[in-house]
Structure formats: structure tokens, C-alpha cells
């Protein structure tokens, strides 16, 4: 990963450029990285705050040959596990908030956005976008997220080298990805669960009314597994969880 690395000081979104390159036949593992993004994209059409050299903002072209489109979301969970492992190596106590946000305590450190291009039953390519808040001071975040976001620097109280961090992330992602391709989702699933935010806790979910649910794990297909107050199991596929 990253043998073909395209770096841009400033772009709208690295996702857009990665899509262009992928349509232009870029190979598996091609990375587009930016110093800043003026129109960083988050999940569900949200804006992703990506200021100049404050974080790692990059998108990777993936071409998983034997993966079915319905299992593409598993790649996002693979990436979340890889990121969590890297952070743990830096002694940062992160949790993965389903589906794939990285949190330190109650604050968001990192987000992942995967976009897939598929035809019939074949994945053409996946763009895996990763954003990690690295060297932000508290005041560097947009006002709207300042109370919900954090950075490695805020936690560790020191500047982190972006290049070294990228190398660690790239290496760990490659390891986890290979394992996923060779052994399937099972080993990833249990690791994901070991990092899960609020695992074993009771929360409110909104699905045909509001009810209490206890988080018990994730399903093979990436859905969140919960039980209700009668002990009945449910699989949740979209963001219906009231986390706080």
C-alpha cells in the first residue's frame, strides 16, 4: 500500500481524485494523500474538517478480486481494526464506535469512508478514505465539532510525525487486509469486538420506536448485534443507535 503515492498540498477531497485514478485503471494500493481538503467528505454527506497538515487525509484504491459486493463493508471494519492496533501501539486507548469511528473517551479521533464501484456481482474498485486528527490543538477544530473531536496531539501532548504515522497505518492495514483475504472475516470480527465502544452496555436504539438494547457484538456481515430487554437478538444495519 502506498507504493504509488500521490501527494497534493491542497485538494477538494482525496476521495474524488482516487475515484478519477481508479476509473483510469490505477492499481490496487494506489494512495492519494493531501495536506488539506477544502471539501472533505464524511459519511452520510457530512463535511469532514481537514485543515492544513493537521491530520492524515488519504484515500486508497482497493481491488479485492474475490470479494462479493455485499461483503464490501467488511473492508471498513478491517481498516478500523488496523487503525485501532496502530493507535494501541502508540499507547492511545481507542475504541471503535460502530460502524467505524475511532474514539478516545467520548471524542472522535478518526473516521473512515468507503465508496464502492461495482457492476452486477463484481467489485470494480473500492475507495477507502481515512481521516485521522493528528496535530490539531483544541482551537484548530471548527466551532461545530470542537466539543466532539480530539487529536493525537491533544491526547499525547506532543507533535506526531505524519509520515511515520502513515507508514505504520499502511503497514498494519496491509497485514490485516491480507489476513482478511486469506482467512475471511472471522479473526477480524473478534478483534473488532475487543475494541468496541460501549460493548456490553445498555443504550437506546431507534428502530420502529425507541427501545433499550444491550450491545453484544457484530454479525459476520458487519451489522451491529444487540439484545432487547426480553433477551431477543436483533441485527442493526443503519445508524439508529443513540450513543449517549
Site residues, ligand BTN (CB under 6 A): 13-15, 37, 40-43, 46, 48, 50, 57-59, 101, 111-113, 129-131
**Residue nearer to ligand BTN on the CB measure, 145 or 227:** 145
Closest CB to ligand BTN: residue number: 111
Q: Is 140 helix (H, G, I), strand (E, B) or coil?
A: helix
Question: Least separation, in Å, of the C-beta of 216 and ligand BTN?
Answer: 24
Are 69 and 137 within 8 A, CB to CB? no
Question: Least separation, in Å, of the C-beta of 86 and ligand BTN?
Answer: 16
Question: Least separation, in Å, of the C-beta of 114 and ligand BTN?
Answer: 9
Are 181 and 193 within 8 A, CB to CB? no
**Residue nearer to ligand BTN on the CB measure, 183 or 239:** 239
Specify the pairing of strand 31-37 against strand 5-11.
parallel
Residue (of 33, 11, 25) closest to 129 by Cα position: 33
Question: Least separation, in Å, of the C-beta of 116 and ligand BTN?
Answer: 14
Are 18 and 57 within 8 A, CB to CB? no
* Distance, CA of 11 to CA of 133 (rounded, Å): 17
Question: Least separation, in Å, of the C-beta of 218 and ligand BTN?
Answer: 18
Question: Least separation, in Å, of the C-beta of 214 and ligand BTN?
Answer: 25
Q: Quickly list DSSP for 172-239.
A: HHHHHHHHHHHH-SHHHHHHHHHTBTTTT-EEEEESSSEEEEEEEEE-TTSPEEEE-TTS-EEEE-SS
**Residue nearer to ligand BTN on the CB measure, 13 or 176:** 13
**Residue nearer to ligand BTN on the CB measure, 48 or 180:** 48
**Residue nearer to ligand BTN on the CB measure, 17 or 215:** 17
| Location of C-alpha cell 481521516 | 131
**Residue nearer to ligand BTN on the CB measure, 108 or 234:** 108
* Distance, CA of 22 to CA of 150 (rounded, Å): 32
Amino acid at each position: 500500500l502506498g507504493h504509488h503515492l500521490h501527494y497534493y498540498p491542497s485538494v477538494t477531497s482525496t476521495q474524488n481524485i482516487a475515484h478519477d485514478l481508479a476509473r483510469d485503471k490505477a492499481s490496487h494500493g494506489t494512495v492519494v494523500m493531501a495536506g488539506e481538503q477544502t471539501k472533505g467528505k464524511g459519511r452520510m454527506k457530512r463535511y469532514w474538517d481537514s485543515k492544513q497538515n493537521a491530520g492524515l487525509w488519504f484515500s486508497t484504491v482497493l481491488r479485492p478480486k474475490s470479494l462479493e459486493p455485499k461483503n464490501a463493508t467488511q473492508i471498513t471494519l478491517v481498516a478500523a481494526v488496523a487503525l485501532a492496533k496502530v493507535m494501541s501501539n502508540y499507547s492511545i486507548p481507542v475504541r471503535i464506535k460502530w460502524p467505524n469511528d475511532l474514539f478516545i473517551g467520548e471524542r472522535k479521533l478518526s473516521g473512515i469512508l468507503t465508496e464502492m464501484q461495482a457492476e452486477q456481482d463484481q467489485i470494480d474498485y473500492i475507495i477507502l478514505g481515512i481521516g485521522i486528527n493528528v496535530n490539531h490543538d483544541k482551537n484548530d477544530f471548527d466551532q461545530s465539532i470542537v466539543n466532539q473531536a480530539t487529536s493525537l496531539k491533544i491526547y499525547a501532548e506532543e507533535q506526531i510525525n505524519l509520515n511515520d504515522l502513515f507508514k505504520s497505518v499502511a503497514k498494519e492495514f496491509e497485514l490485516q487486509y491480507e489476513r482478511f483475504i486469506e482467512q475471511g472475516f472471522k479473526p477480524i470480527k473478534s478483534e473488532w469486538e475487543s475494541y468496541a465502544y460501549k460493548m456490553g452496555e445498555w443504550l437506546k436504539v431507534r428502530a420502529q420506536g425507541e427501545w433499550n438494547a444491550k450491545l453484544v457484538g457484530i454479525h459476520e456481515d458487519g451489522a451491529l448485534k444487540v439484545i432487547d430487554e426480553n433477551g431477543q437478538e436483533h441485527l442493526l444495519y443503519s445508524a439508529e443507535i443513540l450513543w449517549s
